[in-house]
Amino acid sequence: MTADIEELKASLKKLNARATQAKMDLHDLSEELPTHWEKILEVSQRCHDAHAALMEARKAVAAATA
């Protein structure tokens, strides 16, 4: 059981890093606008997906440790 929790926490750490990077990519893109405007949907979708995965992982860790 504890190994599963450790795996969930390791996954959470990776997802957090991915979500943080996606947030920074979105921020950088916003500062470059209107240059690269055609990347808005791609970058924002990647950011949305990363944060959705992060929230699900946080729920899984909370459920496993409760």
Give average pLDDT by consecutive 10-residue segment, the chain, 66 residues. 85 98 98 97 98 97 90
pLDDT given for residue 65 in this prediction: 87
C-alpha 58/C-alpha 35 separation (Å) is 35
Q: In the chain, which residue ranges form alpha helices assigned H by DSSP?
A: 2-32, 40-65
Topology of domain 2-65 in CATH is: Helix Hairpins (1.10.287)
Distance from C-alpha of 17 to C-alpha of 62, rounded to nearest angstrom: 19
